[in-house]
């Protein structure tokens, strides 16, 4: 029986040392501290101050004076926090407001001289590239167009399985639009239309997805989640049908600010920027014709770190790198995960590459709840992964893997959580089969590598049996027989 190609797992999944990024944007200054420099860094501290450096920039050409003073205070605090958290590396970058303002270079120089830091004022094209890299770092083989809406500019990039082609930065930041339109929605729509008319490469694309990056876009996603009673409150990889979202965006674009204030999920500081963000998404949907809108919580900060990785680490699968770290930090063996992955193959011969990838992620996580009280292992494992910071999987895939982990510890589902609504036909059966097979494997080997290959599943005429070789006959008992019965039941349901 032929075996599928194995996925490469990182041999050095993580490195010691916290790493910090301070992002001096047009609307806010944010510091994020990540646990380590690695393929999928986890943010362990995240704080922003709404300085609005770019307020009035379109009219005056200068940074907002009040914003400058707030920025100095914010930076002083952030640097102190970095020292307290003992970060080993710190990057400070500035984007559109500092880049475009006549006094931006002087402001950056003041910060460097006062605080003994280097401020990397990045170009519009680099900002576009970093935003796209942020998506590539946290989603699996993205295809379409990324759009990063900041306070002073918007960056559009075409991506294809993580490779960047066309990219551009345009003067359509949320603060800039407010300044130039003076609150006039008709003027705002004409302004957006003029900017998009200059992007010939965007017209008629019919791309698979538009990846929306930035706080204003995320605010729209949060509002849409509330409006449809979405069961999983995770913004990253929130995916909606573009044609359906077009109607929602049109409603927000025309909604008076008084009504926007009462809309569930809206924060007061985002209200003024929402109509412009909604109009941009309308234009994107009408021009590039994406099938879906996918919202990203990753942007230029994650892209900044991703670009600094070696090509070898950058090319690793972010999900599998994170799952490998889960296994290693939990004291579990990745060798056993690979054995379990290969051993299950006869049960799932027709699975796709994406399904195999999910199954390997599951195998790496399969022993995640062994330190939990037996009565709570299944439910704990389900929610641990459902609510985790793992990236590189869609919401549906997140629920699917979480349910498989539930069945790793409990055959029958005892609760019906709202998030299970995100599953599609066959997902529950896959989860039950994969989970119950891993439970059987545990009772055959105790999750110790080197023994599972002595057993094998035999599938003949839709009948499933387990072949035991060598001394594995000695482990046969009621615990194994009961779990093999469960695997047979799950296999019948899966293949029905």
CATH of the domain at 88: 3.30.420.40
Indicate if 76 and 182 belong to the same structural domain.
no
263 and 328 co-located in one domain: no
Q: Residue 396, class by beta-carbon neighbours within 10 Å (0-12 exposed, 13-18 middle, 19+ buried)?
A: middle
Q: Give how far Cα 46 sits from Cα of 17, 26, 30, Å.
A: 17, 18, 7
- Position 309 in a domain: no
Q: Are residues 203 and 264 in the same domain?
A: yes
For residue 444, the enclosing domain spans: 318-495
The pair of three-digit structure tokens given for residue 485, joined into one six-digit string: 């019965």
Instruction: Show which of 273, 302, 331 is a domain's final residue.
Output: 302
- 431: three-class secondary structure by DSSP: helix
Asked if 368 and 348 sit in the same domain, the reply is yes
- What is the distance of C-alpha 194 from the center of its chain? 32
Domain boundary pick from 252, 277, 302: 302
Decide if 2 is inside a domain. no
Euclidean distance between CA atoms 452 and 442, whole angstroms: 9
Sign of CA pseudo-dihedral 265, 266, 268, 273: positive
Indicate if 347 and 297 belong to the same structural domain: no
Q: Give residue-wise pLDDT tens across range 414-470.
A: 989 999 999 999 999 999 999 999 999 999 999 999 999 999 999 987 789 999 987
384 and 416 assigned to the same domain: yes
The answer to whether position 378 is within a domain reads yes
* Neighbouring residues of 401: CB distance < 8 A, sequence distance ≥ 6: 358, 361, 362, 365, 385, 393, 431
Is the domain of 322 the same as that of 370? yes
Q: In this structure, is residue 311 part of a structural domain? A: no
Residue 390 lies in a domain: yes
User: Residue 373: how many CB atoms within 10 A of its CB?
Assistant: 8
Residue after which a domain boundary falls, among 241, 270, 302: 302
Say yes or no: 253 and 355 in one domain.
no
Indicate whether 3 belongs to any domain.
no
* Alpha helices (H) along 203-310: 215-228, 242-254, 257-260, 274-288, 300-308
Is residue 143 domain-shared with residue 292, that is, in the same domain?
yes
* pLDDT per residue rounded down to tens, the chain (496 residues): 334 444 555 554 445 689 999 999 999 999 999 999 899 999 999 999 999 999 999 889 999 999 999 999 999 999 999 999 999 999 999 999 999 999 999 999 999 999 999 999 999 889 999 999 999 999 999 999 999 999 888 999 999 987 888 788 888 989 899 999 988 999 999 999 999 888 877 777 789 999 999 999 999 999 999 999 999 999 999 999 999 999 999 999 999 988 998 888 788 888 999 999 999 999 999 999 999 999 999 999 999 999 999 999 999 999 999 999 888 888 787 999 999 999 999 999 888 899 999 999 999 999 999 999 999 999 999 999 999 999 999 999 999 999 999 999 999 999 899 999 999 999 999 999 999 999 999 999 999 999 999 999 999 877 899 999 878 889 999 999 999 999 999 999 999 8
Question: Do 232 and 167 share a structural domain?
Answer: yes
In a domain, 307, yes or no: no
State the Cα–Cα distance between residues 178 and 182, nearest whole angstrom: 6
Residues 297 and 342 both lie in one domain: no
Q: Which residues contact 286 (CB under 8 A, 6 or more apart)?
A: 246
Question: Half-sphere exposure (CA, 13 Å, Cβ side) for 9?
Answer: 22
CATH number for the domain spanning 366: value is: 1.10.3210.10
Strands 119-121 and 209-213, sheet pairing: unpaired
The count of domains in the chain is: 3
- E-assigned strand segments in 150-207: 154-160, 163-170
Is residue 35 located within the same domain as residue 106? yes
**Which residues have a Cβ under 8 Å from the Cβ of 27 and sit 6 or more positions away?**
50, 51, 52, 53, 54, 150, 151, 152, 173, 174, 175, 215
Instruction: Decide if 21 contacts 5 (C-beta within 8 A).
Output: no
């Amino acid at each position: 029986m032929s075996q599928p190609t194995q996925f490469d797992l990182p041999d050095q999944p993580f490195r010691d040392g916290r790493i910090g990024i301070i992002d001096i944007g047009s609307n806010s200054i944010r510091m994020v501290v990540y646990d380590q420099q690695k393929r999928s860094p986890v943010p362990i501290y995240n704080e922003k101050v709404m300085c609005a450096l770019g307020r009035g920039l379109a009219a005056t050409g200068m940074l907002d004076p009040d914003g400058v003073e707030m920025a100095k205070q914010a930076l002083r605090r952030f640097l102190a926090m970095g020292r307290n958290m003992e970060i080993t590396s710190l990057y400070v970058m500035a984007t559109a407001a500092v880049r475009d303002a006549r006094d931006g270079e002087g402001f950056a120089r003041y910060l460097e001289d006062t605080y003994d830091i280097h401020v990397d004022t990045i170009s519009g094209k680099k900002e576009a590239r970093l935003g796209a890299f942020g998506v590539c770092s946290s989603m699996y083989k993205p295809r379409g167009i990324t759009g990063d809406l900041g306070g002073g500019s918007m960056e559009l990039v075409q991506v294809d399985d993580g490779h960047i082609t066309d990219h551009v930065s345009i003067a359509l930041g949320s603060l800039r639009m407010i300044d130039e339109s003076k609150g006039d929605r008709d003027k705002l729509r004409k302004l957006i239309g003029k900017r998009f008319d200059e992007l010939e490469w965007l017209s008629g694309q019919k791309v698979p997805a538009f990846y929306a990056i930035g706080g204003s876009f995320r605010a729209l996603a949060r509002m849409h989640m509330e409006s449809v009673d979405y069961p999983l409150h995770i913004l990253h990889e929130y995916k909606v049908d573009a044609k359906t979202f077009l109607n929602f965006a049109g409603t927000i674009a025309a909604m008076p600010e008084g009504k926007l204030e009462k809309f569930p999920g809206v924060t007061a500081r985002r209200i003024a920027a929402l109509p412009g963000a909604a109009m941009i998404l309308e234009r994107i949907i009408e021009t590039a014709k994406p099938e879906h809108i996918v919202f990203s919580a990753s942007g230029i900060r994650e892209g900044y770190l991703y670009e600094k990785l070696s090509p070898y680490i950058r090319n690793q699968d972010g999900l599998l790198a994170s799952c490998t770290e889960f296994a290693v930090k939990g004291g579990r063996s990745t060798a056993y995960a690979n054995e379990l992955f290969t051993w299950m193959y006869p049960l799932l011969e027709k699975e796709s590459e994406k399904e195999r990838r999910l199954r390997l992620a599951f195998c790496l996580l399969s022993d995640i709840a062994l330190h939990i009280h037996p009565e709570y292992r299944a439910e704990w494992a389900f929610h641990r992964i459902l609510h985790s910071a793992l990236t590189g999987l869609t919401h549906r895939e997140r629920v699917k893997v979480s349910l498989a982990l539930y069945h790793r510890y409990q055959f029958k589902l005892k609760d019906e959580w709202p998030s299970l609504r995100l599953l599609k036909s066959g997902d529950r059966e896959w989860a039950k089969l994969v989970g119950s097979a891993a439970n059987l494997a545990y009772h055959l080997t105790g999750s110790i590598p080197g023994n599972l290959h002595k057993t094998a599943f035999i599938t003949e005429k839709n009948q499933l049996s387990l072949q035991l070789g060598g001394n594995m006959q000695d482990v046969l008992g009621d615990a194994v027989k009961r779990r093999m019965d469960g695997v047979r039941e799950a296999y019948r349901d899966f293949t029905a």
